[in-house]
Structure 1
Amino acid sequence: MIGNIIYGETCQGTLNYVLGKGGMRILGYGNTFSQDITPKFFGSVLHFQGQRNATKNRYAHISLNLPHGEHLDDATFFKISKEYMDSMGYGEQPYVVVRHTDTKHEHVHIVTTNVKEDGKVLSIFNSYRRNIAAHQALERKYGLSPSPSTKQERELPLYRLPELKLDVDNTQGTRFYIQDVLNTILQKYKVRSFEELARLVRPYHIEIKQTKSKSGRIGVAYGLNNQQGYRTRFINGSKVHRQLSGPKLQKMFDIHSRSKQLPMHRKRLLKQIETTYNLFKTIKPHDLEEVLRKYQNIDIKLDTKGDTIEGYTIFDKSRYVFRERELSKDIRMLNRMDIFGNDDVPTTIDIENKQFKLEVHKLLKEAFRTSYIKSQKQEGLYSDYIARINPKKVSTHLLESKSFLFLHRYVPKDQKEYLKRVFANAYPKVRDELYIRETKKEEETLKNKFRLIGKVLEKQVFNVGTKGGSVRHLFQSLGVRYHDNEILFADSNKHSLPAHIGKLDFPNSMEDYVSKASVRENHLVLEMLTEENLENRKKPTATAIFLPMVFPRLFERMNNNHKQQFDTIALEAYVKYAERVHAPFEKSPKDYVAFFNAKGFYFEKGEKGFRVKSIYTNHSASYTLSKRTGRYLDSIPNLALVLQEQDKVMNGLVEDGRDNLKNLWAGYLTEKGLYNSVAYMFTKENIDPNLHKEIVQHHLENGLQKAIREAITKKSTIEHNRVLRKSAATLSSLLDNRDENIEEAYNGFKDELTDWKKRKKRGRGLSF
C-alpha cells in the first residue's frame, strides 16, 4: 500500500474531483455528527473549519493505493482509512473517505483539513516519514503486500493516467495526476532544468512548456498527451500546485546546479565509466545497462529513437541525472566505436590489458580482507593473518564474490581456465604487497596509539596510575599492552615502541576478551575527548554508548568533566542512530517519545528546547535536540501529560533491573537482526531487550522467535525444561515490558565475536 499526501489552500476543486468521479462510492465520514450527511453539507463544514487559519496548507488530499491484484471490501478499506487517519494525527478532524473504481489499482481518496476547531494548525512535520510508518503498520496488521520505504525505491503513481478520450475538460483529474508524478520525480531526483524535467516526465505522458508573461516573468505549463488520442489543455504550473510554478522550480534548479558536490559526482562517474570501457574489448550496446549496474553499481537507461541507440542517461546514487555527453565526449557511444561498433560480437573482457590486471589484484585483496573479517576470531594482526592464511580460504571467498562471477561471465569461453591461472599467478605478488602495506600501517597505528595514551594521561581523562595496575586497563581498551619497557599490540609481538614507564602492577582482573570493533570505537572516543579541533574528526557510532559496559574498570575511573562530555557524545550518536531505526514504525511524535522511553531515554523541555537524557548516564548529561525535532514534539496535544508519564516507564525499567547497558545492547543486537546472539542472551543469560513492544513483536515475527526456539533445542536434556520455562516467561514479558531480572556476570561483546580457537595454517600458492 502506498499513501500520497498533497496539501493545498482550497478544498472545493479537490472535493469536486473526488466526489464527481463516475462510479465513486463514499465509504464514510470521520468526526461528523452523522454518517447520513450530504457531500454538499460536508464540503461546507470542511471549508468553514479550514478558513479559521490563514495557513496555505489548510487542506489535505490523501490517497491510499493497493498494488495490482489486492482487494479489500468497502468496510475493511474504510476501517483501514480510519486507522491511518488516527496514526497521522487526523483522528479528531472531519474527513471523507471516497472509493474510486476507475483504475486497475484499488484506491481511496481522503479529504480533510489541517486546521483544528480552535483555529490552530496540526503539525505536518515528518509527514512523509509518518505516512510510510502508518501504512507499513497497516500492511503488517492486515496482511497487505509491503511497500517500499524510501523515496528512491518508490514507483511512480500511474494508476490515474486516463486511457480513453473521456472527460477531456476534467482539469482536476489532470492536475492531481500531474501533481503525483512531479512530486515523486522531484523527491527522487535533483533536477537542474526544465529540459531535464521534461525528459523525466515524458514516459508518464506529461508535456512541459515554458511560458513568458507580458512582464517578462518565466513560467511553466503542464499537459497530458498519451499519443493515443487523449490530450488535455496546458495548465499553468501555479494552478497545478504553487510549489510547481516556474519561479519556484527555477529556484530549486539553481540550488541543485550550484551544489559544490556536483563536480565531484561528475568526476567520479566519468572515472567509473572510463574504467569500465578500459576493461572490455567489446560491449554490445544493449548490454551496457547490465555491465555498468553489476560492475560499477551505476544505473543507466539507453536513449533510443526507434531502433537506434542515441546514447544513455545516468541515474546516479547522488540523485543527480546526467547525460553521457555532459560528462565527456570521449565516453559517448558514438565516439567509442572501437568498443560498441560491432553488435554481432558478444560482450568480452580484454584479459590482456592493464585494467584487467588491476582488477585481478583488487579482487584478491578483497578476498584476503573478507576471509579475515569472516574468520571465527580476528586473532593477531592483519599482516600476521596474511602471512599464515591457507590460500584455499582466499580462493573460496574469491570464487564466491560477485566481482569474480562478473569477470568470469564476460571472459571468452576458451579462456576460463586461463582466468584462474591469472589469479593463481598473481596471488604471491598480491600477498607480499599487501603484507608490506599492512605492516607499515600497523607501525603507524601503534605510534598513534602511543601518542593518544600520552594525551589521555596528560589531560587526566581517567584517574589511573601505575599503582594497582589501573593504567593497564587503558592500554587494553586501546588494544595494546606494556611489557619490559615496551608498548606492543595486545595480540602480537611483531611491533614495539620503547616506553620507559617503569614497573606496572597487574590488576586483580582484566576483561577476558575485547573485540577489535570496541577497541576502534574507544580509540575514536578518546581522540574526541583529547582533541581541541574536531572538525575533521570522524564521529563515533551508536556503539560508543556501550563502552562503559565493555571496559567497566576503566570507565568507572573517568573523571567527572570528561564523563559528562563522553555521555553527551554517546547520547548524540545513539539518538541519531535510533531516529533512523525508529522511522519505519514512527507514526506520530508520541511514538517518537514512546520508542525512546522503552529504551531508557527520556525528554525534558527547557528554555533552549528539548533535551534527551538516559537512565544509563549521569543525570546532568544531556543532548539537545534540533529545533526542527523540538517543533515536532511540541505538536503533541497533551505534551505535559506525555512528558509526565515518562517517569512511570523509567521507574518500571529500574524496578525490573533493566537500567543496565546490557539490556540496551540486547535491543541494539535485535534491531541489527543478530537474532542468534540475542537468542543466546535470552535463554542463557536471561537478558531482556529494552525495546518497545511493537518493535519487539516485529522482530519476533521476522526471525527472532525462530532463533530462540533453535537456541532452546541446543540445550542439554538436563536443563531443557528450566530453559523452556525461562524462555516462555521472557517471550511473555517482551510484550508486557516487565519481568523479574536475574543479575549475572556479563561480558559485553562476547556474543558478537565468540572466543573460538582455530588452527593456524600456512600455504604457498592459490588453488581453485
Structure 2
Amino acid sequence: MVAKISVGNSLYGAIAYNGEKINEARGRLLTTNRIYNDGSGTMDIHRAMEDFITFMPPQMKVEKPVVHISLNPHPEDVLTDTELQDIAREYLEKLGFGNQPYLVFKHEDIDRHHLHIVTVNVDENGKRLNRDFLYRRSDRIRRELEQKYGLHPAERKNCRLDTPLRKVDASAGDVKKQAGNIVKAISGQYRFQTMGEYRALLSLYNMTVEEAHGNVRGREYHGLVYSATDDKGNKVGNPFKSSLFGKSVGYEAVQKKFARSKQEIKDRKLAGMTKRTVLSVLEGTYDKEKFVATLKGKGIDTVLRYTEEGRIYGATFIDHRTGCVLNGSRMGKELSANALQEHFTLPYAGQPPIPLSVPVEEPENRQGYSGGEYESHSGGMNLFAPEGPAVDAEEEAFIRAMQRKKKKKKRKGLGM
C-alpha cells in the first residue's frame, strides 16, 4: 500500500474535487467523522464545507491547515468497503487525526480502487496539530497496516523482476535465472496452504517442486527441490535446490507461508469470492473446455489432474484477483474432483444446462416417477443441492430425448 500526503490551504478545493467525483458515480463516500453523512455514498459539498468551518475557529495562524491523503492498496489486494473503512480509521487514529473532522472517499474511476481522505491539522482552538515527522510516521503506520491486513508492501519504483514473469522456456537458456524469478515472485504474490496448491500454482509457469527429507550424521534435514517442466508437466534439465534462490523459498519459509495463508484466507474470507465465481460458471455449462476458458476470462486459472484412465482426481483454482490458490474440495463437496468428474461426463454434457432453481418434490411424491415429474427436476445430478434425491442420469437423458421426439411429432401434426 502506498500512502501520499499533501498539505494546502484550499479546503473547498479538496472537498469539491472528491465530492464531484463521487456524485458522478465514479466513487463513493465510505465514512466520515464530525461531518454529516446520510449513508447514500454521495455528499452535499456545501454542507460538508459548513461542518468543517463550524469545527475550525474563524481566526487561525496556520498557513496550510488542509491535509489531503491518498491510500493506494496494491491492485491485487481485494478489500471490502468495510475493510477499507477500518484501514482508513486506524491509519488516521495512529497518525493523530482520529478525533478530527474527516471525509473518507473511495475512488472507482480507475481499475485500481483507492482512498482519498480530507481532514484538517488544527484543533478546535485553531492550534496546529503535531506535524513533526508526519511522513515518517505515516510510513511506519503503513507498514503496520500492511502486516495486519495481509496487504502487498509498497514497492520501490525501480524494483522490477530481471525478466517479465512468464513460463520457463528451457530452450531460451539460463533456466536457473528464469526459475528463480518465478518462485520468488509468486511466493510474495499468492496465498497457498498445501504443497499440492503450491505445485498447481508453479505448474502455470512450467515448474514443479518436491520435498527432500533425509538424515545426515544423525541430524534430520528437510528441503525443497525445484524443477523446470515442459507444457505436459514432464521435468526438463537439472533440478535446483531451494538454497540457490534464497531462504524466502526454502522449506521452512514455505511451511510458514502455508500457515500464514490459511489464517489470511480465513480472516478475510477470501475463498468466498472464488467459490461464487466458479459455481456460477459451472452452473452454466457441462462443457469442460468452456468451463476452464470462461473462468480464465474472469481471472481464475483451473488446474485439473487426471488418472491414467483420464478421470479427474484433483482440481485447483488459482484466483489472480485475490491471489489465492484453492483446492476445489476446500471450497465444498460440489467442487471436489469427483463432483466435477460426474458433472463433465453426464450423458447430456454438451447440451444447454438444465435450470437449477426448480424446487424438488416432497418425499411422499418420490415414488414412481412419471415423465411430468422428470420435467420439473433440477437436472438429475442435483449438484448444487447436495441433500436432494439421487437420480439415474442415463434414465433422465433418455426421458429428455423422448420428450424432444414428442415435440417434433406435435409440430409435424400441426403442419409446421
- Structure 1 length as normaliser, TM-score? 0.22
Rg larger in 1 or in 2?
1
Q: Which has the higher strand share?
A: 2
Q: Which has the higher helix share?
A: 1
Higher RCO (CA 8 Å, separation ≥ 6 residues): 2
- Structure 2 length as normaliser, TM-score? 0.39
